[in-house]
Amino acid sequence: MTEEPEARRAKGMGVRYAYETIRDEILELTLEPGQLLDETSLAERFGMSRSPVREALIRLAGEEMVVTLANRSTIVAPIDVQTFPKYVEALDIAQRMNTRLAAELRTDADLLAIAARQRGFVAAVGSGRHLAMSEANKAFHMAIATAGRNPYLASFYERLLNQGRRMLHLHFRYLEAGNEGHLLTDEHDEMLAAIRDRDVERADTLAHLHTRQFRDNFVTFMTHGYLTDARLVAIGQPSATPPSV
């Protein structure tokens, strides 16, 4: 009587394991943009059938982390640097709106949650683990979005934050190589203070500056680190010339 539920549970765990492992390797750039993801090879690696791997890839496709081609093969989603300015434009709007709303509508419980996420981010930066750093950065900003009480704007914002995580990882690599640059830490405490003070205009300004810092960091990587990481950002084009951002 218990075999069928156990089988379903095992399958569900298999999907989750495959999904989380592939997702993390995409975010950490272990699986590079444009890399082919073969269901059979992945199933053999994970010691499972192709079905949970396929379901994991479908979920990742829904999050725009993988792309299914016309021939039904699946690749890691490219990082399209040519559309980066449009991405930043959308991120800026979402970041400013969610932060403005948080400053206007936040509760004391929201402030505690945002502050806890900021402490988590500082701890992640101290650990030097890139995956933890980008996850904690996202958690901080999503705590702000939650305080803004608009689930539609929060959902849009989360999608953009997810898409930007690999760009953060590229910059982490650049910094680890001994290059000059800054992590996105400087404005977090100031943003929290503006939200605490219900200073909507200040929160808006800081959110905008935060987006600009992210943009400038990535452009710095593209300018100075592109040639050493060409495989990671050369997407869809055979040219070795870095696209303008």
Check which CATH number belongs to the domain holding 121 and give it.
1.20.120.530
Q: For residue 208, is it within any domain?
A: yes
Same domain, 68 and 90: no
Same domain, 157 and 61: no
Same domain, 59 and 88: no
Structure tokens at 219: 């452009």
Cβ atoms 122, 191 nearer than 8 A: no
pLDDT (tens digit per residue) in 126-150 = 998 999 999 999 999 999 999 999 9
Query: What average pLDDT does this structure show over 32-55?
Result: 95
Q: What is the pLDDT of residue 182?
A: 58
Q: If 0-12 CB within 10 Å is exposed, 13-18 middle and 19+ buried, where does residue 111 land?
A: middle
**CATH code where residue 63 lies:** 1.10.10.10
- Taking 60 as the threshold, does the pLDDT of residue 30 lie above it? yes
- Which of the residue ranges 12-16, 137-141, 161-165 would you say has the lowest mean pLDDT? 12-16
Query: What average pLDDT does this structure show over 193-209?
Result: 97
- Which of the residue ranges 4-8, 38-42, 88-92 would you say has the lowest mean pLDDT? 4-8
Task: Report the first-to-last Cα separation within the chain, whole angstroms.
Answer: 60
Same domain, 95 and 215: yes
Same domain, 136 and 214: yes
- Residue whose entry in the numeric block shows the structure tokens 């808006």: 204
Residue 106 DSSP code: -
Q: What is the pLDDT of residue 233?
A: 53
Q: What is the pLDDT of residue 236?
A: 39
Query: Final residue of a domain: which of 76, 105, 120?
Result: 76
State the pTM of this model: 0.82
Cβ atoms 88, 214 nearer than 8 A: yes
Same domain, 85 and 38: no
Total number of domains constituting the chain? 2
Same domain, 57 and 98: no
Q: For residue 89, is it within any domain?
A: yes
Q: What is the pLDDT of residue 108?
A: 98
- Taking 80 as the threshold, does the pLDDT of residue 184 lie above it? no
- Average pLDDT over all residues of the chain: 85
Whole-angstrom distance, CA of residue 81 vs CA of residue 243: 7
Q: What is the pLDDT of residue 8?
A: 47
Query: Final residue of a domain: which of 20, 55, 76?
Result: 76
Q: What is the pLDDT of residue 109?
A: 98
Q: What percent of the chain has pLDDT over 70?
A: 82
What is the domain extent for residue 7? Answer: 3-76
- Taking 80 as the threshold, does the pLDDT of residue 223 lie above it? no
Same domain, 60 and 89: no
Q: For residue 243, is it within any domain?
A: no
Query: Final residue of a domain: which of 33, 50, 76?
Result: 76
- Which of the residue ranges 70-74, 109-113, 151-155, 177-181 would you say has the lowest mean pLDDT? 177-181
Distance of CA 38 to the CA centre of its chain: 23
**Please, which pLDDT band fits residue 171 given cuts at 50, 70 and 90?**
confident
Structure tokens at 127: 């650990």
Same domain, 109 and 168: yes
